[in-house]
Amino acid sequence: MISLSRQFGLVAALVMGLALTPAAHAAGGGAKLVPSEVNVHDLASLQSGAQLYVNYCIGCHSLNFMRYNRLAADLELSEEMVTNNLMFTDAKFGEPMTNAMTKEAGELFFGKAPPDLSLIGRSRGADWIYNYLINFYQDENGGWNNTILENAAMPHVLWQLQGIQVPVYETHMEGEVEVQKVVSLELAEPGLMSEEEYQSAMRDLTAFLDYVGEPIQLQRKKIGVWVMAFLAFFAFLAFLLKAEYWRDVH
């Protein structure tokens, strides 16, 4: 028979395991990606990311599942601040963050319609987004490519901030075919930002997209602390109740 103290220890371990499972899951996978180290609870970072998004991204990529008023509430911005700094269309404050680009126009300009990015944070993850944003390069033909998503249809719209990166190739054989592989990128033409400044800006943009993919996470983790505290307290009460029931057995 398992002792009461050991039973209580098992219950406590189970409670802690449930608390840590999401974190462990989030840390798994994407080993080849540089950690983004984004913080969706940093309001200044989210606000900076929102501004970058409306300045460089929303012209092609809508956020159909995010409304301006929800953005204002979560990022602690006034309606006036959002209207003056984040709204450049005739949209109303309670409407989604859409754009005027049609699917046909997107296919005409880029060969593929730019996707809505409302859920990119959930589908790809913060590390993927961050690495994608910092790994654009210009190939020998003068076109844009990306080491994370090869032959992406998207041009490097942020090149003025980052500058122009060019690839460093390594040649190896695949069977009898000689293949060149990009092993690193080097800056050929500097941009308006230093490397550190650009990486920080892309971390902000990534944090914003991560937040948009799951806005409730700003409150979910705070609520989760109270939920886990309740479960721990309930486990302790259950232990006391069990001890009382089994007192006569012993």
- What pLDDT is stored for residue 51 in this prediction? 97
In the chain, how many H helices and how many E strands? 10, 6
Classified as helix, coil or strand, 228 is helix
Dihedral pair phi/psi, residue 177, rounded to 5°: -105, 130
Does pLDDT of 233 surpass 70? yes
The pLDDT-based confidence of 173 (bands split at 50, 70, 90) is confident
- What pLDDT is stored for residue 53 in this prediction? 98
Report the alpha-carbon distance of residue 223 to residue 74 in Å, rounded.
Answer: 15
Dihedral pair phi/psi, residue 7, rounded to 5°: -60, -45
Dihedral pair phi/psi, residue 30, rounded to 5°: 60, 35
DSSP character for 92?
A: -
| Mean pLDDT value across the chain | 86
141 exposure class (CB count in 10 Å sphere: 0-12, 13-18, 19+): exposed
- Give 244 or 49, the one with higher predicted confidence: 49
The pLDDT-based confidence of 223 (bands split at 50, 70, 90) is confident
Asked if residue 163 lies in contact with residue 175, where contact means CB atoms within 8 angstroms, the answer is no
Instruction: State percent of the chain over pLDDT 90.
Output: 60
Instruction: Give the least confident one: 1-10, 70-79, 80-89.
Output: 1-10
Which whole number is the average pLDDT over 51-71?
Answer: 96
Residue 167 is encoded by which pair of tokens? Answer: 């690839």
What are 62-84's pLDDT values in tens digits?
999 999 999 999 999 999 999 99
Report the alpha-carbon distance of residue 153 to residue 136 in Å, rounded.
Answer: 12
Sequence-separated (6 or more) residues with CB below 8 Å from residue 193: 161, 162, 201
Residue 92 is encoded by which pair of tokens? Answer: 């109303």
The predicted model scores a pTM of 0.78
Asked if residue 202 lies in contact with residue 25, where contact means CB atoms within 8 angstroms, the answer is no
Q: For CA atoms 126, 214, 145, 149, give the dihedral sign.
A: positive
Instruction: State percent of the chain over pLDDT 70.
Output: 87
- Give 76 or 6, the one with higher predicted confidence: 76
Which whole number is the average pLDDT over 16-37?
Answer: 54
Highest mean pLDDT among 153-162, 177-186, 226-235: 153-162
Angle at 188 between CA 182 and CA 192, to 5 degrees: 120
Instruction: Give the least confident one: 23-27, 124-128, 134-138, 206-210.
Output: 23-27
What are 154-164's pLDDT values in tens digits?
999 999 999 99
- What pLDDT is stored for residue 218 in this prediction? 85
Report the alpha-carbon distance of residue 54 to residue 169 in Å, rounded.
Answer: 35
- What pLDDT is stored for residue 250 in this prediction? 61
Location of structure tokens 């090869």:
150
- What pLDDT is stored for residue 239 in this prediction? 85
Asked if residue 121 lies in contact with residue 129, where contact means CB atoms within 8 angstroms, the answer is yes
- What pLDDT is stored for residue 171 in this prediction? 87
- Give 156 or 236, the one with higher predicted confidence: 156
